[in-house]
């Protein structure tokens, strides 16, 4: 067996663990070899590759990032791209590609499969927004990083009687915000799934502070949006791939809150620190299970499938189903975060003059 492996899209902790697991499984169980392509599909199209052995994967399990490098380049956006992918299959004698990536990369897996290229998908993203898998690796690491940051922010917020607004990643969905907000005891969590009303957020914060709580942490997903007819946000720039460059919503929320409540407010934008560094144990294990399962899928010629986590089992789903919609934060989770955002007022406080 001969597999070509690549990592695409934004990096995330656990990518190297998938590579290591795929190489080990291919060598140990199939006596096969793996070719690593650099910088996602660009390495395939530009023939930038190297063999990967178990020796090359020593020490990789806890290492963040990806030893293969990554990019958002994809064959459909590159001159003669798909033909060059076919040439690579021939040149390297590949049974299939294992493409590790997020929502955009899984869309490319779907299209390449439709064009007859043998490929299997492995979902990754700290955003945890890929449908049909209950979790993507990288997500738990990001939540842990955010929670640790929020724990630290609590003590400084309390010392200064401030509102601290923390911006976390989450382009279209608020899984990181919802989990980190719950784990970190946020007073308010704002997610893209539920457009927010600034006046209502300010009312809740004022109530808390008027009833003895002396600090508030507000967690806001970078993709959170104000409800129509409330505050206006400026047009955001777009990057070379047409994605809006997010970031900055926390500054707006903090300044609006300070104006509306009169309470001093500050901002922390966690940014790429959420994607860097070593994966937590859960992500190492999930990534390893995905790597093994991806090689199994190639062995079974289950091309066009994506490996996924469902009810603690690793399963395969057609990638076309996985990319049909994003996995948003569900009602039950929104309800749970909502319960902890209602200002808690003791009965005697309510009746006090």
β-pair partners for 122: 100
- How far apart are alpha carbons 79 and 93 in whole angstroms? 23
Question: Which residues ranging from 66 to 105 are in contact with ligand F6P (CB under 6 A)?
Answer: 102
Given 11, 73, 95, 127, which residue is catalytic?
Answer: 127
- How far apart are alpha carbons 74 and 82 in whole angstroms? 9
List the one residue out of 77, 14, 13, 90 whose CA is nearest residue 40: 77
| 260 versus 326: smaller Cβ distance to ligand F6P | 326
Pairing of strands 49-52, 33-37: antiparallel
CA 37 to chain centre: 22
| 270 versus 295: smaller Cβ distance to ligand F6P | 270
Under 8 Å between Cβ of 36 and 22: no
Min CB(126)–ligand F6P separation in Å = 5
The piece of 35-43, 165-173, 210-218, 301-309 that touches ligand F6P (CB under 6 A) is 165-173
**Out of 207, 246, 260, 334, the residue judged to bind ligand F6P by CB under 6 A:** 246
Min CB(78)–ligand F6P separation in Å = 18
> Which two tokens mark 238?
């777009």
The piece of 59-67, 149-157, 166-174, 194-202 that touches ligand F6P (CB under 6 A) is 166-174
List the one residue out of 8, 242, 240 whose CA is nearest residue 104: 8
Min CB(141)–ligand F6P separation in Å = 12
| 139 versus 303: smaller Cβ distance to ligand F6P | 139
Q: Residue 169, interface with ligand F6P (CB under 6 A)?
A: yes
Please compute, for residue 300, the number of CA atoms within 13 A of its CA located in the half-sphere on the CB side: 14
Alpha carbon distance, N-terminus to C-terminus of the chain: 78
Under 8 Å between Cβ of 264 and 162: yes
**Out of 19, 126, 165, 287, the residue judged to bind ligand F6P by CB under 6 A:** 126
Min CB(222)–ligand F6P separation in Å = 6
CA 9 to chain centre: 11
- How far apart are alpha carbons 257 and 244 in whole angstroms? 25
The answer to whether 127 is a known catalytic residue is yes
Q: Residue 208, interface with ligand F6P (CB under 6 A)?
A: no
Min CB(89)–ligand F6P separation in Å = 28
| 94 versus 145: smaller Cβ distance to ligand F6P | 145
Residues with a known catalytic role: 127
Please report, as ranges, the residues that interact with ligand F6P according to CB under 6 A.
10, 102, 125-127, 169-171, 222, 246, 275
């Amino acid at each position: 067996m001969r597999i070509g492996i690549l990592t695409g899209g934004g990096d995330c902790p656990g990518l190297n663990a998938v590579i290591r697991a795929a190489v080990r499984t291919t060598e140990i169980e199939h006596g096969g070899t793996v070719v690593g392509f650099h910088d996602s599909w660009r390495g395939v199209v530009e023939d930038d590759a190297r063999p990967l052995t178990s020796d090359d994967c020593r020490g990789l399990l806890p290492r963040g990032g990806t030893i293969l490098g990554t990019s958002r380049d994809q064959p459909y956006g590159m001159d003669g791209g798909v033909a060059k992918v076919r040439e690579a299959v021939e040149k390297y004698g590949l049974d299939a590609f294992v493409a590790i990536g997020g929502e955009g990369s899984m869309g490319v897996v779907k299209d390449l499969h439709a064009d007859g290229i043998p490929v299997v998908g492995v979902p990754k993203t700290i955003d945890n927004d890929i449908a049909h898998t209950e979790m993507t690796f990288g997500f738990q690491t990001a939540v842990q990083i955010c929670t640790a940051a929020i724990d630290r922010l609590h003590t400084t917020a309390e010392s200064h009687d401030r509102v601290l607004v923390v911006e976390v990643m989450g382009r279209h969905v608020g899984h990181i915000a919802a989990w980190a907000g719950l784990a970190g005891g946020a007073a308010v969590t704002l997610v893209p799934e539920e457009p927010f009303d600034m006046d209502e957020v300010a009312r809740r914060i004022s109530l808390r502070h008027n009833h003895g709580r002396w600090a508030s942490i507000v967690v806001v997903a970078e993709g959170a949006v104000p409800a129509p007819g409330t505050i206006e946000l400026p047009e955001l720039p777009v990057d070379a791939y047409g994605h809006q460059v997010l970031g900055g919503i926390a500054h707006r929320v903090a300044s609006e809150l300070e104006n509306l409540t009169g309470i001093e407010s500050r901002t922390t934008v966690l940014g790429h620190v959420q994607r860097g560094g070593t994966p937590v144990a859960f992500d190492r294990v999930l990534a390893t299970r995905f790597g093994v399962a991806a090689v199994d899928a190639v062995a079974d010629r289950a091309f066009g499938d994506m490996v996924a986590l469902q009810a603690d089992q690793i399963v395969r789903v057609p990638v076309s189903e996985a990319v049909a919609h994003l996995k948003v934060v569900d009602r039950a989770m929104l309800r749970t975060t909502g319960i902890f955002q209602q200002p808690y007022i003791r009965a005697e406080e309510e009746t006090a003059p």
